[in-house]
Amino acid sequence: MTPICPNCLRPVRPDVKFCGYCGTSLIPAVAMEAGSTSVLPDEAVIETNPIPVKAALAMMGMIEEVYRLPMVPMKPENRAKLEKVLAAQELLPPQKA
């Protein structure tokens, strides 16, 4: 049976993490840690928003990584931190050999 997006009800591939039509996350919700006040990791706001969000979406293969001024690419050290978080959550596409 083909999975469907719970938001737009369109069919989605079983290997994707987000709906390609509406962008809804297809990742099961996880419980927040006790005492946590944020659902976002600190790395999501490590630089001026929306730069980390755009970088994360590009790393996940969802958008092309293009910035228009005044936005600029993330600092390499911050990008590495963000990539580590995404990899830990298994949100990055498999590396091509």
pLDDT in tens, 26-82: 876 544 445 554 445 667 777 877 888 899 889 988 899 998 888 899 999 999 998
72 and 46, same domain (yes or no): yes
- Domain identity same for 79 and 49: yes
> What is the per-residue pLDDT for 73?
92
Neighbour tally for 16: CB within 10 Å: 16
CB 53, CB 44: distance < 8 Å: yes
Q: Is residue 36 part of a domain?
A: no
Helix 76-88 and helix 51-59, axial crossing angle in degrees, nearest 10: 50
What domain range is 16 assigned to? Answer: 1-27
Binning pLDDT at 50, 70 and 90, where does residue 17 land? Answer: confident
What is the count of structural domains for the chain? 2
**If pLDDT is split at 50, 70 and 90, which confidence band does 96 have?**
low
**Which position has the token pair 């590495």?**
80
16 and 52 co-located in one domain:
no
Q: Is 11 helix (H, G, I), strand (E, B) or coil?
A: strand
**Quick check: is 12 in a domain?**
yes
Structure tokens at 2: 């083909």
Q: Same domain for 20 and 48?
A: no
Is 50 found in the same domain as 23?
Answer: no
pLDDT beyond 90 at 95? no
Look at residue 41 in the predicted model and tell me its pLDDT: 65
